């Protein structure tokens, strides 16, 4: 407890303090991101630290939250820059509470808490798919589909079509993984569904980084792979995820929850599940199962790279590297505005900043040309 409680004031629920802070933040993308970041932090505090009031938040809580973010970066669930941004919103919120005299000091601003934050190396360690690796993984996915159709692959036809569509979408569209896969840490990111896909219009509706819905470009090869996969999958409802999970317990849980919501009693639900494979139940009763998670997608890419015998500096082709690889390809060939549009950057300056290494290299070549004259 802080002196706020000692002086006789009542404890402040975190949710109330967060609402007060958000009301003071100017509307726009920053407010939306702050809202999401702070609510995720509050959920973490309630779950991991059993803290639900402002006065309960101590330096050790902030230190352990910073460590939690660092683990997510280590697990490749977050970029280091994003983790630092999330913590910065918490620090700003608690600084607001300190200024409003709700707490004595800002526990997130203490050095021993911030020392646990992941180091942000900037662009130096950010992977991107090289043209060679991109072509190699796309060729492998095409051959895998052919082998599946001939009965020679270790996976079935639907899985082969699904995985090819997933890889093509990452490689060619510039989408972020969290825009098309389920992010367990963000309840608004539950994965792309078939009603988000516009094959004829060449667009995919996604919940963007701005926390607003946007349309990502869908090139012909990606659109074709998605359409062929849809014909094989035959989704039972347009709300079905494009890339559903393979996790059987999650499927069973979805069936029980959704049939229960339709007033099926427990005995009847178990009778249905005992009599039929869960995938058949999902299809017959139009159950919407969860999408594959961001971590599941990374694990899948790791397995696919192993099968394709692709060694990317001892690692694998990570989903976020596909987006950067597309931008690198477009930018390096002189299409900065096209890169901006494909990656949905808010301004061309963001695109220039993202690929400053290419600009520096081009400048060096021009300087060499001038000096050699």
* pLDDT one-digit tens code per residue, 88-113: 999 999 999 999 999 999 999 999 99
- Is a pLDDT exceeding 60 seen at residue 333? yes
Residues 198, 61 share a domain: no
pLDDT score of 1: 33
Residues 307, 185 share a domain: yes
pLDDT score of 6: 41
Residues 305, 160 share a domain: yes
Summarize pLDDT for 38-71 with one digit per residue, the tens: 999 999 999 998 999 999 999 999 999 999 999 8
DSSP at 331:
H
Given the DSSP bridges, would you call strands 203-207 and 213-217 parallel, antiparallel or unpaired?
antiparallel
Q: Name the H helices within 276-371.
A: 278-284, 294-307, 319-332, 336-343, 348-354, 356-371
Please indicate, yes or no, if residue 119 is contained in any of the structural domains: no
**Alpha-carbon distance values, 91 to 105, 161, 182 (Å):** 11, 45, 27
Residues 212, 305 share a domain: yes
Please indicate, yes or no, if residue 122 is contained in any of the structural domains: no
pLDDT score of 16: 93
- Is a pLDDT exceeding 80 seen at residue 5? no
The residues near 300 (Cβ < 8 Å, ≥ 6 apart) are 163, 166, 292
Please indicate, yes or no, if residue 120 is contained in any of the structural domains: no
Please indicate, yes or no, if residue 221 is contained in any of the structural domains: yes
Q: Which domain-ending residue is among 114, 148, 178?
A: 114
Residues 208, 137 share a domain: yes
Q: What is the CATH number of the domain that holds 156?
A: 1.10.443.10
**Are 181 and 297 in contact, with CB atoms under 8 Å apart?**
yes
Q: What is the mean pLDDT of residues 302-307?
A: 94
Residues β-bridged to residue 214:
206
Q: Which of 2-11, 49-58, 297-306, 320-329 has the lowest mean pLDDT?
A: 2-11
Residues 268, 139 share a domain: no
pLDDT score of 372: 65
Please indicate, yes or no, if residue 124 is contained in any of the structural domains: no
Q: What is the mean pLDDT of residues 211-234?
A: 94
pLDDT score of 361: 61
How does residue 368 score in pLDDT terms, banded at 50, 70 and 90? low
Q: What is the CATH number of the domain that holds 103?
A: 1.10.150.130
Report the percent of the chain where pLDDT is more than 90: 64
Question: Edge-to-edge strand order for the sheet containing 197-198?
Answer: 197-198, 203-207, 213-217
pLDDT score of 53: 94
Element (H, E) at 67: helix 59-74
Residues 86, 14 share a domain: yes
Q: Kindly report the average pLDDT of the chain as a whole number.
A: 88
What is the domain extent for residue 265? 248-289
Please indicate, yes or no, if residue 121 is contained in any of the structural domains: no
Summarize pLDDT for 147-159 with one digit per residue, the tens: 999 999 888 999 9
Q: Which domain-ending residue is among 289, 310, 344?
A: 289
Q: What is the mean pLDDT of residues 312-320?
A: 86
Please indicate, yes or no, if residue 79 is contained in any of the structural domains: yes
How does residue 139 score in pLDDT terms, banded at 50, 70 and 90? very high
Tally of domains in the chain? 4
Residues 210, 88 share a domain: no
Q: Name the H helices within 242-277.
A: 248-261, 266-275
Tracing tokens 């001939």 back to the chain, one arrives at 150
Residues β-bridged to residue 244:
291
DSSP reduced 3-state for 359: helix
Name the residue with higher pLDDT: 184 or 356.
184
Residues 314, 233 share a domain: yes
Residues 220, 170 share a domain: yes
Q: Exposure pattern of 344-369 as b/e (b: 16+ CB <10 Å)?
A: bbeeeeebbebbeebeeeeeeeeeee
Residues 35, 99 share a domain: yes
Please indicate, yes or no, if residue 126 is contained in any of the structural domains: no
Residues 265, 137 share a domain: no
């Amino acid at each position: 407890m802080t002196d706020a409680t000692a002086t006789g004031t009542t404890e402040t629920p975190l949710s109330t303090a967060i609402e007060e802070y958000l009301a003071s933040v100017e509307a726009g993308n920053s407010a939306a991101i702050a809202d999401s970041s702070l609510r995720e932090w509050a959920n973490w505090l309630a779950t991991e630290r059993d803290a639900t009031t402002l006065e309960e938040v101590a330096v050790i809580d902030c230190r352990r939250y910073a460590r939690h973010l660092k683990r997510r970066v280590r697990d490749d669930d977050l970029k280091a820059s994003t983790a630092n941004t999330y913590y910065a919103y918490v620090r700003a919120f608690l600084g607001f509470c300190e200024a409003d005299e709700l707490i004595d000091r800002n526990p997130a601003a203490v050095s021993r808490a911030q020392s646990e934050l992941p180091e942000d190396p900037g662009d130096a360690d950010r992977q991107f798919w090289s043209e060679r690796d991109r072509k190699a993984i796309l060729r492998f996915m095409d051959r895998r589909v052919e082998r599946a159709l001939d009965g020679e692959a270790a996976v079935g036809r639907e899985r082969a079509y699904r995985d090819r569509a997933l890889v093509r979408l990452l490689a060619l569209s510039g989408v972020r993984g969290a825009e098309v896969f389920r992010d367990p840490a963000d309840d608004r990111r539950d994965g792309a569904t078939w009603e988000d896909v516009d094959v004829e219009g060449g667009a995919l509706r996604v919940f963007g980084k701005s926390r607003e819905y946007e349309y990502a470009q869908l090139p012909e090869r990606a659109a074709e792979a998605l359409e062929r996969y849809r014909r094989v999958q035959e989704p039972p409802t347009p709300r079905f995820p494009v890339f559903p999970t393979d996790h059987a317990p999650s499927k069973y849980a979805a069936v029980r929850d959704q049939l229960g919501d339709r007033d099926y009693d427990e005995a009847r639900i178990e009778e249905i599940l005992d009599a039929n494979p869960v995938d058949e139940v999902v299809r017959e009763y139009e159950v919407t199962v969860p999408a594959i998670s961001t971590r599941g997608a990374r694990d899948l890419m790791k397995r696919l790279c192993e099968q394709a015998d692709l060694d990317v500096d001892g690692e694998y082709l990570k989903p976020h590297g596909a987006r950067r690889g597309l931008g690198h390809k477009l930018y390096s060939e002189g299409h900065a505005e096209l890169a901006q549009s494909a990656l949905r950057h808010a301004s061309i300056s963001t695109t220039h900043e993202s690929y400053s290494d290419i600009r520096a290299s081009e400048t060096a070549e021009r300087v060499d040309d001038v000096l050699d004259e």
